[in-house]
Each structure stands twice: as C-alpha cells, then as structure tokens.
Amino acid sequence: SYHALATLLFLPGVLFASQPLHLGFSVALIVFVVVECLRALDVHPLAPAIDRFLRRFTDHRDAGLVVTSHFYLLLGCALPVWLGGTSEVARLAGLLTLGLADTAASLVGTRYGRHKWPGSPKTLEGSAAFAASLCAASGLVVYALVDQQNVSSALMLFALCIGLAALEALTEQNDNMVVPLTMYAAVHVLLSDKARFHAAPVLMATAAFAAPSVLPAGRSIITRHLRNSKSR
C-alpha cells in the first residue's frame, strides 16, 4: 500500500529532521501541481501517460477534471507537520491515521469484512482494525515520546480513536484530508491545555468540512435502526 510506503518515507523526517521535511513536502506539492496541470490541460505527449498512471489510484471522488486523491494524501501527511504544535501525537497524525490505521483497515476490511456500515462500502471489521491500530500506535508514541501519561488522557485518546474510525467510514469527503486534520486538532484540544487556542480553528474548519457528509450518514443509520425496531 502506498499509505504504508508514505509512513516509511516520512516518519524519520518527522522525528529527526522536521525542517528538511517541511521543504520536501513543499517541493512535492509543487511537483504535484505541475504534473496535474500537464494532465488536466492535455499536454502531449506527457498527459496520456500521467492520466493512465493516476487513474489506477482514483475513485468516485475523482470524477471531475482534476484528480485530487494524491493531493489529499500528501496534504494529510504534510499539514500536521506544517502546523506544528506541542504534541508529538498531533504532529504524527497524518502518518498514524493514513500510514498505519488506514492500511490496517484496508487489509482487514478487504479480507475479513462481512458487516458493512449503512450507506457505505466500508466494513465494521475494517473500522475496528482502524481504531485498534491507531490506538496502539498513538499509545506507543505517548509512552515513548511524552513524559507525562495519565488515565484520563489515555481514555480520551481511546475515545478519539473510535470517533476517528467512525469518521473515516462515514465521511463522503476525502478521508485522507479530513481524518488527519481532525486528529491533529482534537489531540491538541483534548490532551494539551497549551495548544487549545492554536488548534480550535483547525478543528472547527474540519468539522464544517466533514459535517455535510457525516450527518446524513448518521441520520440514515438512526432512521434504519428505528424502522427495524418498529418492524419487529
């Protein structure tokens, strides 16, 4: 999976060389923009080859003129690093959610998934793998890199991982962008008193971006449950 490959590429930079990684992300974004312009403007002979390559990694959300999946993956990894902050877990939000949790969800959901979320092709088994792997990886980061650990923070982190798994399954927006930013902001708001003001605007903006797709999905689940209850 290219998500796992992104983790292997970016994790050493986040931990040991953040400033060069800032520059690397910026250069990669510029390259992505140039390549997408060549493809969208149908510049021959490069455009057909670029289009064939990118279409292997697209889904229904890339039905328009511009292919955005690779932008969202890059920005999902880069934005928590660019935004910075006081929390190591937050800075690693992109790699934890996309590189580890999303990969685990894909592997488990594809192989063992039997029960689908209402109105979504994603499975409960995949979401459980997402939450479990994210919780384990985040806990390991906290244990290894953070001096202070407590029960209340652990419980909030556990609840956050479950919430992110549900968001990843239900949102119709590109989860490669929404989930990392939600985790980045939520970790600061819930676990770091010093950074709440810094992260609150990010959390509100992400919520506004995700709500139009998550709320109808949640309403669909509740409606279906009530309908099934009445039919019994």
pTM for this structure?
0.76
Question: What is the structure's pLDDT at 164?
Answer: 92
The DSSP letter of residue 174 is -
pLDDT tens, position by position, for the chain (232 residues)?
Answer: 566 777 777 888 887 888 888 899 999 999 999 999 998 888 888 888 988 888 777 766 666 778 888 888 889 989 998 988 778 888 889 999 998 899 899 999 999 988 888 878 889 999 999 999 999 988 888 877 665 556 677 788 888 899 999 988 888 778 888 899 999 988 887 766 554 444 455 455 555 544 544 445 444 544 554 455 555 5
Alpha helices, DSSP H only, in 98-150?
102-112, 124-145
pLDDT at 128: 94
Q: What is the pLDDT of residue 150?
A: 64
Position 70 scores a pLDDT of: 84
Burial class (CB in 10 A: 0-12, 13-18, 19+), 5: exposed
What per-residue confidence (pLDDT) applies to 134? 93
Please give the pLDDT value at position 149: 58
Residue 196: the pLDDT is 46
Residue 23 gets the label, from left (phi > 0), alpha (psi -120 to 50) or beta, of: alpha
Rounded to 10 degrees, the C-alpha dihedral 15/19/23/24 comes to -20
